C-alpha cells in the first residue's frame, strides 16, 4: 500500500495523547483529490490521519503522533478495551480514517477501499496494539457515518471487511473423530459463521452437530462429512492474503506474485510499498529494515525465517 504524504495545517504536531481506537468516517461526497484539498485548506479546520480514495489510494493527512481534527464533540465512550474516551476528547485518543463516499447509504464502498483500509488497520494494530474500531456516530450523536451500507460490525469484530483464517485449509475430507489442525480450520470457519465452538482441533459431537446444522441451512447433503462442497460454502465471504506465499528465497531483482506476497506483508508492518511484484531498491530497504528490527540476519534475502516473521501475529483472534 502506497501512502502519499499530504500533511494538513489543521493538526497539532505530536499532540495525540495516546492511540486508543480507530475512528472511521465517510467524507460525505467529493473526490479523493477534492477531499485532500479540503483537509489542506486551513479555513476548513478539519483533518484526519488517513484518507482512502475509491481506487484504494491513500494519503497521510496527519502523522500518527499528531492530534487531528475529525471527531469534534462527543460523549464519553467506553471502548471494548475498557478505555473510556472522555467527553469531547475523541481527537486526543483516536486515529481518524476517512473513506471517500457520498454517505447517502447507496454509494458503494469499493473492494479497493476495503483492501487499503484492512491493510491500514492491520498495520496500525501491529504497531500500536489491538485498537478497537469505532465510527463517528458511535461517538457523536449528531453524525451518521459510517452509513448503513458499510459493514461496520465486521470491522468491529474482525478489524477488517472479511476475517482472515489463521489455519491452513485441509486437503482431506474431515469427519467425526479426527483430531488435527485441519479440524481447527473447520472450527474456525464454523465459528465465523456463528456456531459456538471451541477451536481445539477435535472433531467431536459439538463440531459434528455444527457441521450438520451448517449443511442443512445451506442446501448441502447433511452427512456430517466436510468435503469440497462444504468447504467451499464455509469459505464464502472469507478473505486471505491475495497472493501466494513463495516457496523460494527471494531477493533483489526477483519478480512475480511471490514478491507481491512479501510486499503485502511488509505493508502490514508499516512499510509503504507498491505491491507491484518487483523486488526493487525500496522493497530491499524495507526487507532489510524489517530483518534488522526483527533480530534476523540483515541480508535482504527473504527466506523461510524472514517469511515466518512476516506472518507472525498478523492474524487477529475473533
Q: Which residues bind Zn ion (CB under 5 A)?
A: 25, 136, 145
Closest C-alpha among 113, 165, 156, 183 to residue 316: 165
Of 101 and 291, the one with the shorter C-beta distance to Zn ion is 101
CB of 35 to Zn ion, least distance (A): 12
Cis upstream peptide for 164 (omega within 30°): no
Q: How far is the CB of 25 from Zn ion (least distance, A)?
A: 3
Residue 145 beta carbon to Zn ion: minimum distance, rounded to whole angstroms: 4
Q: Which is nearer to Zn ion, 156 or 202 (CB)?
A: 156
Q: Give the residue with the Cβ less far from Zn ion, 66 or 145.
A: 145
Q: Which CB atom, from 77 or from 287, has the smaller least distance to Zn ion? A: 77
What is the closest distance, in whole angstroms, from the C-beta atom of residue 39 to Zn ion in the complex? 13
Q: Which is nearer to Zn ion, 40 or 197 (CB)?
A: 40
User: How many CB atoms within 10 Å of residue 46?
Assistant: 19
CB of 74 to Zn ion, least distance (A): 10
Smaller CB separation from Zn ion, 136 or 161: 136
Q: Which is nearer to Zn ion, 118 or 145 (CB)?
A: 145
**What is the rounded CA–CA span in Å between residue 57 and residue 82?**
33
Dump the DSSP string for the chain: --EEE---SSEETT------EEEEEE-SS--HHHHHHHHH-GGG----SEEE-TTS-EEESS-TTSEES-S-S---EE-TTS-EEPTT-HHHHEEEEEE----SS-SPPPHHHHHHHHHHHHHHHHHH--PPEEEHHHH-TT---S-TTS-HHHHHHHSSSS-B--SPPPSSPB-TT-BSHHHHHHHHHHHHTT-----SSB--HHHHHHHHHHHHTTT---SS-B-HHHHHHHHTT-B--SSPPPSS-B-TT-BSHHHHHHHHHHHHTT-----SSB--HHHHHHHHHHHHHTT---SS-B-HHHHHHHHTT-S---
Closest CB 181 distance from Zn ion, rounded Å: 42
Choice between 68 and 234, CB closer to Zn ion: 68
Write down the least CB distance from residue 143 to Zn ion, Å. Answer: 5
Least Å distance, CB 23 to Zn ion, is 8
Amino acid at each position: 500500500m502506497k501512502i502519499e504524504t499530504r500533511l494538513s495545517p489543521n493538526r497539532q504536531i505530536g499532540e495525540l495523547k495516546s492511540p486508543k481506537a480507530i475512528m472511521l468516517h465517510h467524507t460525505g461526497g467529493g473526490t479523493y483529490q477534492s477531499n485532500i484539498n479540503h483537509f489542506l485548506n486551513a479555513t476548513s479546520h478539519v483533518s484526519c490521519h488517513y484518507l482512502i480514495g475509491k481506487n484504494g489510494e491513500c494519503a497521510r493527512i496527519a502523522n500518527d503522533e499528531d492530534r487531528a481534527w475529525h471527531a469534534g464533540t462527543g460523549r464519553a465512550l467506553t471502548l471494548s478495551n475498557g478505555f473510556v474516551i472522555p467527553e469531547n476528547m475523541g481527537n486526543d485518543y483516536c486515529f481518524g480514517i476517512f473513506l471517500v463516499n457520498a454517505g447517502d447509504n447507496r454509494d458503494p464502498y469499493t473492494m479497493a477501499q476495503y483492501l487499503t483500509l484492512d491493510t491500514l488497520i492491520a498495520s496500525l494494530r501491529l504497531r500500536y496494539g489491538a485498537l478497537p474500531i469505532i465510527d463517528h456516530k458511535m461517538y457523536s450523536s449528531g453524525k451518521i457515518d459510517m452509513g448503513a451500507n458499510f459493514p461496520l460490525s465486521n470491522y468491529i469484530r474482525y478489524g477488517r471487511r472479511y476475517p482472515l483464517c489463521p489455519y491452513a485449509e485441509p486437503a482431506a475430507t474431515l469427519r467425526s473423530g479426527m483430531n488435527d489442525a485441519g479440524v481447527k480450520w473447520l472450527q474456525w470457519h464454523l465459528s465465523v459463521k456463528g456456531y459456538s465452538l471451541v477451536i481445539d482441533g477435535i472433531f467431536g459431537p459439538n463440531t459434528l452437530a455444527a457441521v450438520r446444522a451448517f449443511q442443512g441451512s445451506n442446501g448441502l447433503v447433511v452427512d456430517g462429512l466436510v468435503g469440497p462442497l462444504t468447504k467451499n460454502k464455509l469459505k464464502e465471504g472469507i478473505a486471505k492474503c491475495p497472493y501466494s506465499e513463495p516457496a523460494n528465497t527471494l531477493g533483489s531483482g526477483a519478480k512475480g506474485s511471490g514478491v507481491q506476497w512479501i510486499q503485502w506483508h511488509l505493508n502490514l508492518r508499516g512499510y509503504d510499498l507498491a505491491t507491484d511484484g518487483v523486488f526493487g531498491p525500496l522493497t530491499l530497504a524495507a526487507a532489510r529494515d524489517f530483518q534488522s528490527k526483527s533480530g534476523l540476519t540483515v541480508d535482504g534475502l527473504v527466506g523461510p525465517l524472514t517469511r515466518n516473521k512476516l506472518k507472525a501475529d498478523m492474524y487477529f483472534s475473533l
